[in-house]
């Protein structure tokens, strides 16, 4: 989720410094959503944001590998089941 919000913040960088200053000046303790957005906008383009992107890419690559292994196993099971009924 942080990755998606950070990417959205990357697209909305125009005037972000002014927005961050304004948001910080009016923020209260009840403004959890605003705090998250301010933090993400502050991190946009930072090494932390790039590290988060690399971590997300690694997670996605691992999920792809797991799904490909599942597909391979399913295909083998289909072949074995077809063989068992004489197809």
For residues 80 and 25, give the distance between their C-alpha atoms in angstroms, rounded to a whole number.
Answer: 66
Q: What is the pTM of this model?
A: 0.42
The three-point CA angle 25-47-6 to 5° equals 55
pLDDT of residue 77: 94
Domain parsing of the chain, residue ranges: 2-84
pLDDT tens for the chain, 87 residues: list them: 566 666 666 666 566 667 667 667 766 666 676 677 767 666 655 555 566 677 778 888 888 999 999 999 999 999 999 999 998
């Amino acid at each position: 989720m942080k990755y998606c919000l950070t990417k959205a913040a990357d697209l909305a960088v125009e005037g972000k410094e002014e927005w961050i200053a304004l948001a910080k000046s009016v923020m209260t303790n009840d403004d959890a959503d605003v705090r998250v957005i301010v933090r993400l906008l502050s991190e946009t383009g930072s090494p932390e944001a790039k590290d988060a992107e690399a971590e997300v890419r690694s997670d996605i690559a691992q999920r792809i590998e797991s799904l490909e292994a599942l597909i391979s196993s399913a295909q083998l099971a289909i072949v074995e089941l077809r063989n068992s009924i004489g197809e």
